[in-house]
Amino acid sequence: MEDPVKIMRLKLRNDSETPRKLSVTYYAEWVIGVQRQSNASFISSEWDEEAKILTAQNRYQEIFREATPFLGIFPERSEGEDQEVSWTSDQLGFIGRNGSVLQPAALSRARLDKQTGVHYASCGAVQRKLTLQPGEETEVILLLGCGTSRKHAAELAGRYAIASRCDEAWQETSSYWAETLGQIVVDTPSQETNILLNGWLLYQSLACRMWARTAFYQAGGAFGFRDQLQDSLAILHTRPELTRKQILLSASHQYEEGDVQHWWHEETSRGIRTLFSDDLLWLPYTVSRYIEHTGDATILDELVPYITSDTLREGEHERYEETIRSSHSGTVYEHCVRAVEKALSRIGEHGLPHIGVGDWNDGMNLVGDEGRGESVWLGWFLCEVLRRLEPLSVSRGERDRDEKYLLERDKLADAIHEHGWDGQWYRRAFTDGGTWLGSLYNEECRIDAIAQSWSVISGAAPEDRALQAMQSFDRELVDREMSVVRLLTPPFDRTEPSPGYIQGYPPGIRENGAQYTHGVIWSIVAWSKLGRGDKAFELFRMLNPINHTRTDREVRTYYGEPYVMAADVYTAEPHQGHAGWTWYTGASSWMYQSGIEWILGIRKLGDKLYLNPCVPSDWPGFKVAYRFGETRYLLDFKREHNEGAPFDLEAGPEAYIELEDQGGEHAVSIKLT
């Protein structure tokens, strides 16, 4: 689980009546830096004869100079011809002039050329010779890993070159994921929903987003303040201790003034201070959600240090700098209060929060970079954060603060109703230049999804307007023919002044009028809160990647993996329906939350499990197996019960069961209304 090694096990059997001579070759292209092209000529390779591995290093990079990627092939037997091993780090020699990895020139030769050192284009390739007698079966272990040094690389190779240790590692890893992903198991009439909720979304959120923080399309590795806090919400049911850990880590990247680092690298102790307006509010939001779920209010008293630096100068929008610990610390509660107070100090002329160099939508970085632009969406989000902070203030005896936040929430809601309502939906933002975005009168960005969904989620909009806003969202942004949900429409193209780098994307690509999945998932939550199960599940099905990959034609159109969420799906010709990057997206966490907590209605509050589904009207029922400690609760939701078998309770906003860890299984029958 902890070691950075990829293990591949190749089993071979000779079913013929004659001996077979084989060669097994493993090939990799080293990056060892930010970009392969710029680092290739600085990579030096070396063959470790004792460990039987090919190693590489880039001693010219600023950090990780001793890091040592390696690869090796280890047959079950190590005598005779099976000892013959060859290698190369010369990519040109391996591929061949005008060749390709589909038919490398090196595989037409008897062995690799054993070239190491520095090459213009470096690679790693190792080859082993094998001989199998008739009926003989053998196993070959292939390793690709990275040690902190050459010595560590050799230790890792020696550890995992043994089949029994590979067996142990497989069992350890399998057991961890089985336990982690098996906390909640659902059985609904929708098989594609079951596949996504029973493992894949959680795996994507934890393995890719929280741990790796990288993927094929974006190899970053940084912690994003708002990103990993939101990701951690998906694992509250199964690994709440990791959510707690993320809260404490994020709080330790808050400045004394209350703002936070937008992102940072732990390895370099450097991060970026910005004028993004929403980052800091995800801390109190996540703390509230954590306490609500676990009942663990002790986190509020955890002492966490602040960080310190000079505040951004006038006209300075961001600064990449060293992370310096302040001599001052505060409780997590005080960190939350500083975040809210900082947000309340940034209110514009319409009574709405300043958008700064972007709110949730980073691409709108020029809407308010001069300090006057305001965000309607951020107003809704701040309303929700203030609502959530109220019980925390009361529990700590801070009545004055409680009353202040209630008053501020009311003022915000009133300002949004007065200035944010456009007649059929809510506007998105007010620009530095004095114009609205997300208005019926805009030729571009006439309507934006998140300003509508959060009017419902925050509970701060009048019911009639919230419903009308969502109906407008459904009419304007849901494209049932293409099976996508746009973040906004029409896309930006020639808006002056430019709203930011969002306009740098072609219309219909990424945030600029495509389906930006993270944001549109909030519409599922909104429809569920409005009690519209058919609408909520229709969107869930549209966003489910499995439903975009059911046929050869769909696969050729969509291009993305069927088992992980895509960050975006294009709406622009000729790329309509084409997935953008996959894996590294906050969509996985919110898709899981929307499915489990809002559509299926399984929400844990302390030691109570609330049961308030909002499922499609044509579902006869569904089942959920919920593990609490050593106890499994088997929840059976039905619209009709069998004769002689009455329901234990009726689903609804106030319906719950008390969770007690008594071991064994407990069956509960719930009536769907």
Query: Is the model's pLDDT at 108 over the cut of 70?
Result: yes
Average pLDDT over residues 20-44: 90
Average pLDDT over residues 209-232: 92
Taking each helix axis as running N to C, give the angle between helix 449-457 and helix 376-395, from 0 to 180 degrees, rounded to the nearest 10.
20
- Pairing relationship of beta strands 515-516 and 478-479 according to DSSP bridges: unpaired
Average pLDDT over residues 420-429: 98
Query: Is the model's pLDDT at 297 over the cut of 70?
Result: yes
Q: What is the overall mean pLDDT for the chain?
A: 96
For tokens 């936070």, what's the residue? Answer: 260
pLDDT confidence of residue 85: 95
Task: Give the domain 5-179 fold.
Answer: Beta-galactosidase; Chain A, domain 5 (2.70.98)
Question: How does residue 242 score in pLDDT terms, banded at 50, 70 and 90?
Answer: very high
Interval 144-162: pLDDT, tens: 999 999 999 999 999 999 9
Query: Is the model's pLDDT at 583 over the cut of 60?
Result: yes
Q: Where are the beta strands (DSSP E) in 207-297?
A: 223-224, 261-265, 270-274
Contact 94, 112 (CB under 8 A): yes
Question: How does residue 81 score in pLDDT terms, banded at 50, 70 and 90?
Answer: low
Query: Is the model's pLDDT at 218 over the cut of 80?
Result: no
Query: Is the model's pLDDT at 220 over the cut of 90?
Result: no
pLDDT confidence of residue 222: 95
Instruction: Say whether 149 sits in a helix, a strand or coil.
Output: coil
Interval 438-470: pLDDT, tens: 999 999 999 999 999 999 999 999 999 999 999
Query: Is the model's pLDDT at 630 over the cut of 60?
Result: yes
pLDDT confidence of residue 405: 96
605-671 placed in CATH 2.60.40:
no
- Separation of alpha carbons 450 and 114, rounded Å: 57
Question: How does residue 82 score in pLDDT terms, banded at 50, 70 and 90?
Answer: low
Round the CA-based radius of gyration of the chain to a whole number and report it: 28
Q: Where are the domains of the chain?
A: 5-179, 182-599, 605-671
Domain 182-599 identical in fold to domain 605-671:
no
Cβ count near 137 (within 10 Å) = 11
- Separation of alpha carbons 333 and 90, rounded Å: 56
Average pLDDT over residues 590-603: 99
% of the chain at pLDDT higher than 90 = 92
Interval 385-418: pLDDT, tens: 999 999 999 999 999 999 999 999 999 999 999 9
pLDDT confidence of residue 80: 54
Question: How does residue 62 score in pLDDT terms, banded at 50, 70 and 90?
Answer: confident
For tokens 């530095």, what's the residue? Answer: 432
Question: How does residue 96 score in pLDDT terms, banded at 50, 70 and 90?
Answer: very high
Interval 258-282: pLDDT, tens: 999 999 999 899 999 999 999 999 9
Which of these ranges, 12-26, 76-90, 346-360, has the smallest mean pLDDT?
76-90
Task: Supply the CATH classification number for the domain 182-599.
Answer: 1.50.10.10
Q: Which two tokens stand for residue 417?
A: 């109703």
pLDDT confidence of residue 415: 98
Average pLDDT over residues 357-372: 97
